[in-house]
Structure 1
Amino acid sequence: MSEFRRPVRRPSASFDNIAGTSGAAEKARIAHATASALIARARADESGESTERLIAFTADHGIDEIAELWSAAPAVSLPGALWRLYLLQLAIHNDPQTVALLYERGRVELATVDTLVAGAPAPASPEELVVVIDEILRGAFRGDFAIALERAAAFCRVHASGATHVADDYETTETERASELTTRALRLSTYARDLTACASAWRAGILT
């Protein structure tokens, strides 16, 4: 799935240049600690500058530093939720044209409230979807975290629906393309499930 491939590493910066560590328990501790610290820092910064830096982080530095911190965290955890939000943001920023095509197909085909929850225009241009995902990430750092996760989950479901329907279109003519789209839909559906569970856990006060 091309939009989830890791970009070239840009080693010039990281989250406060956090040093690497070894040992599963210590990595888990750091994952949870850094996720909590970043949320707390962004919410404490009334200027919003910390949030804007966090939103722009992957564009400036790639995703390797984030992956090192959070990619192995449990799906239903604070670092797991942030990891999925950053993956979704990266996918949209890397290929907004394809995402817009699939999202629009999903919007047309999906008879649920997900398009309203996601909050994208109808129809949405590639540029507008980039704005939407950045807004969702901004909401995670400064707004209602559970609502941001639910918006991201809804976005994933609409996108997954579009990928599924376009995969069906290609089934008899381009089987490899159909398989790629089916894989994408499955991954997005999994992210949607995970993010929804994280939102529920956050509201219950048990997401750490």
Structure 2
Amino acid sequence: MSTNSSAYGSASVRAAGSGFAAARSGAARFTRPAQLDAALIDQLSGGVDPQRLSDMSHTTAASLLDRVHHTQDPQVVERVLTLVEREGVDLVAELWSSAESESLPGVLWRLYMLRTWMRRNREGISRLWRLGEPVATTASAIAGVDQAPTESDIARTADSILSGAFTGDFAVALERASAFCSVISAGLITEVKRRQTESERLGLSESEARAALANSGAPHMAKTAKSLAGTAKDFQAGAGLWRKGRLE
């Protein structure tokens, strides 16, 4: 299988700790979100006390989730689903990216970043799924993805996980996200091992082997696999807290 390490990452989305965070591109500025109060936008652009920002992150996350859960309007669901594209990742990041992983805004931030990453890297992810699915069979069943998904299947899964969080059982959506991350992590590890084996077969010196492995992108892939495994745990923990009524 021909692979390219750049297919498994994105310049606009990077792993940060155990979750996803968007790189600040400095490109087009976000437009004023319909879901957020104008005064809030002014406060964010001018800087705000960390405690107030934390309070706002929890309030906005809860309000957004509650609003969609109590509406039958598909246009509202679509606007929330495409929040990052419509309003700009910088605003969403400023609201939610610093929230604890075991909190509602922290979990929503990870869900939005997972969707963004999946849609922007759908070709590479579809290949990784084929590698990881035989290893993480139980997880693949939970995620609800075919054994050999196409790029379109990956995009639809990205949308269905996030939309399911707002319109269905929130805990089930988090479990699907967790399972998806686990399978892709397994796929990355499988690919890293394959590249390590290829490097060993070349009969290079130790320093040459390290350089060849680095050039193959294996170290970056291993780091991404570790990050995804951590994110999977975050989603699983969030699902447990939600069922106990403790995800706030």
TM class, shorter-length: over 0.9
Deviations 1:150-206 (A, max 9, x none): 000000000100011111222334324001101110110111000000000000011
Once superposed, what is the RMSD of the aligned Cα atoms?
A: 1.6
Q: Structure 1: which 5+ residue stretches go unaligned?
A: none
Residue 12 (structure 1) aligned with residue 51 (structure 2): no
Alpha-carbon distance between aligned partners in 2 of 1:118 and 1:10, rounded to the nearest angstrom: 34
Match of 1:92 in 2: 118
Read off the aligned partner of 1:57 and give its amino acid letter: L
Match of 1:154 in 2: 179
The structure having more radius of gyration, on CA atoms, is 2
1:174 to 201, 207, 213: 213
For residue 28 of structure 1, give the secondary structure of its aligned residue in structure 2.
helix
Match of 1:72 in 2: 98
Match of 2:239 in 1: 199
Query: How far is the alpha carbon of 1:63 from its aligned partner?
Result: 1.6
Alpha-carbon spacing, 1:180–1:121, altered in 2? closer, same or farther (3 Å): same
Alpha-carbon spacing, 1:9–1:174, altered in 2? closer, same or farther (3 Å): farther
1:164 to 179, 189, 196: 189
Of the structure 1 ranges 152-161 and 98-107, higher mean CA displacement relative to structure 2 is found in 98-107
8 Å Cα contact 2:96/2:109 also seen in 1: yes
Query: How far is the alpha carbon of 1:9 from its aligned partner?
Result: 4.2
Read off the aligned partner of 2:164 and give its amino acid letter: G
What TM-score results when the alignment is normalised by the length of structure 2?
0.79
Alpha-carbon distance between aligned partners in 2 of 1:170 and 1:62, rounded to the nearest angstrom: 37
Alignment of 1:38-117 (within 5 A): 38-110=64-136, 112-117=137-142
Alpha-carbon spacing, 1:179–1:122, altered in 2? closer, same or farther (3 Å): same
Q: Number of paired residues?
A: 207
Alpha-carbon distance between aligned partners in 2 of 1:104 and 1:48, rounded to the nearest angstrom: 33
Alpha-carbon distance between aligned partners in 1 of 2:156 and 2:177, rounded to the nearest angstrom: 13
Alpha-carbon spacing, 1:168–1:61, altered in 2? closer, same or farther (3 Å): farther
Read off the aligned partner of 2:233 and give its amino acid letter: R
8 Å Cα contact 2:171/2:243 also seen in 1: yes
Alpha-carbon distance between aligned partners in 1 of 2:52 and 2:86, rounded to the nearest angstrom: 27
Q: Structure 2: which 5+ residue stretches go unaligned?
A: 1-8, 15-21, 200-211
Match of 1:132 in 2: 157
Alpha-carbon distance between aligned partners in 1 of 2:32 and 2:127, rounded to the nearest angstrom: 34
8 Å Cα contact 1:35/1:79 also seen in 2: yes
Alpha-carbon distance between aligned partners in 2 of 1:100 and 1:13, rounded to the nearest angstrom: 34
Deviations 1:63-112 (A, max 9, x none): 211111100000001001101101100101111111111122101232x4
2:228 to 163, 170, 188: 188
Identity across aligned pairs (percent)? 30
Read off the aligned partner of 1:137 and give its amino acid letter: L
Query: How far is the alpha carbon of 1:13 from its aligned partner?
Result: 3.3
Alpha-carbon distance between aligned partners in 2 of 1:52 and 1:162, rounded to the nearest angstrom: 31
Of the structure 1 ranges 10-19 and 86-95, higher mean CA displacement relative to structure 2 is found in 10-19
8 Å Cα contact 2:129/2:147 also seen in 1: no
1:35 to 51, 58, 61: 61
